[in-house]
Amino acid sequence: MAALLAAGLALRLIYAYHVYRTHDLPGLSTAAVSLSIDPDGYNLLAENLLKSGTYRMFGKLDTDREPFYPLLLAAVHVLFGPSPVPGLVLNALIGTACCALAWALALCLFGDRRAALISLAAAAFYPEWIYYGAYFYREPLMTLLLGLWLWLWLSRSQRPEILNHVLMGVSFGALGLVRSAMLPLGAAFVPIAALRIEPRRWVKTLGLFILCACAVQIPWVWRNYKVTGRLVAGSTMGGSMMYLSLLKNYDLPDQPLEAPLAAASTPLIARIKSENIPSAQAQTLYYRASWDILVHKPGVFWYAFFRKALKFWRLYPTPGWHYGQKELALMVVGLVSNGLLLLFGLWGAFLAWRRRYEVGFLLSIPAVTTVVCAFYWAVMRFHTPVMLCFMPLAGYSAAKALDLIFPA
């Protein structure tokens, strides 16, 4: 176990160093290097928070990006200065902790050390986790909080019941502050958990879970209300993502989702631009337009829905986008790594279900996340945290196969 964790940490640090050195070109400032490895602007939000004391992106108060990851990066800058290197080291450490959680989840579920070690090996060498940890993406932190929430539930007999559900509520609330699209997982968890808890204890368990999760969310919701004048559970970005995904030509994968915005290609977008409606206020209009498409053009809506679901589970990166690696190599690595994980994971889920192991909640996470992303927007990167759910199952099925050849 120690050797696999050390290998996982070393791989993450080495690849992060490679990415950083690739972008750390002569003549570029620290800010320019930071921006090149910060595609979604989380580190920029952290830097702006420290400079101005406000949560801004390009001069405007931001309500699109959930706050937990930028706040964590801001704390790193306070401790270690403006260099992006400590933040990348933090990502490597978080990624290694995710590997340990894959081991712990398999051990909790199956009590099988061989399955746990195989799960750990799959996590330590999983290419997507190594890749996304080398940039300022939120996926490693999402995976950590998702795994912590899962582990707290599966190991609940090891702690007092009330304490365990308080910890679950806090970890789930924090997960929602990293990516609000994970919040529907709570709606799936509550009825599944209710079947395993006596009704007389629901208030002290599930009630505490919901209360603590909401308490973690309240400061962010209140802040967004003060900025936008309406209640926003998580992020204001959802309406535009849903609407733009209904306009996209899915036969042109390299076309940016935001292309219709620049061209003002619909009357709604033209109106928003001409009237200079703020992005946060425009989200309601985007939702209404998406609803109109669902009602009057259901074929368009559901065609996009299923294309996004397929895009969510794409096994290798979309051709045409620059990933710093050869496309053929990415295709082969993606097919092998994601393909084997899903194959062994689904077979492990079948074996675990036949033996009545508690995998229902584990399997609900990929299903719910797929539906959420199919309604809004999906890219391959979004399925990365969800792959944690398949690692214990893949480890279990691989261990059972090995038991036939090399009995433990």
The pLDDT averaged over each successive group of 10 residues in the chain (408 residues) is 97 93 61 73 91 85 91 96 92 98 97 96 97 94 98 94 96 96 94 93 95 95 88 85 92 82 84 87 92 96 95 82 74 93 96 92 94 92 95 96 83
Report d(CA 283, CA 240) in Å as an integer. Answer: 6
Distance CA 187, CA 299 (A): 28
What local confidence, expressed as pLDDT, does residue 29 receive? 53
Tell me if residue 66 falls in helix, strand or coil.
Answer: coil
b (16+ CB within 10 A) / e for 28-41 = eeeeebbbbbbeeb
Query: Do 15 and 124 contact (CB within 8 A), yes or no?
Result: no
- Whole-model pTM? 0.93
Rounded Cα distance between 102 and 117, Å, is 9
CB 98 within 8 A of CB 123: yes
| Torsion of Cα atoms, 342 then 346 then 348 then 350, to 10° | 180
pLDDT of residue 254: 76
* Contact predicate 181/237, CB 8 Å: no
Residue type, 142: M
Residue 280 has what pLDDT? 80
CA distance 381 to 363: 19
Residue 388: the pLDDT is 97
pLDDT score, position 66 = 93
Classify residue 102 as exposed, middle or buried by CB count within 10 Å of its CB (0-12, 13-18, 19+): buried
The H or E element containing residue 61 is strand 60-61
Could you tell me the CA-to-CA distances from 124 to 100, 121, 379 in Å, in that order?
A: 9, 5, 23
In the numeric block, the tokens 């889920």 are attached to 349
In the chain, the amino acid numbered 216 is V
The residues pairing with 61 across neighbouring beta strands, listed in sequence order, are: 56
Looking at residue 330, what is its pLDDT? Answer: 84
Q: What secondary structure does DSSP assign to 166-211, as a single string?
A: HHHHHHHHHHHHH-GGGTHHHHHHHHHHHTTS-GGGHIIIIIHHHH
Q: Residue 233 has what DSSP assignment?
A: S
- The single residue listed with the structure tokens 């304490």 is 163
Separation of CA 287 from chain center:
23
Q: Classify 57 as helix, strand or coil.
A: strand
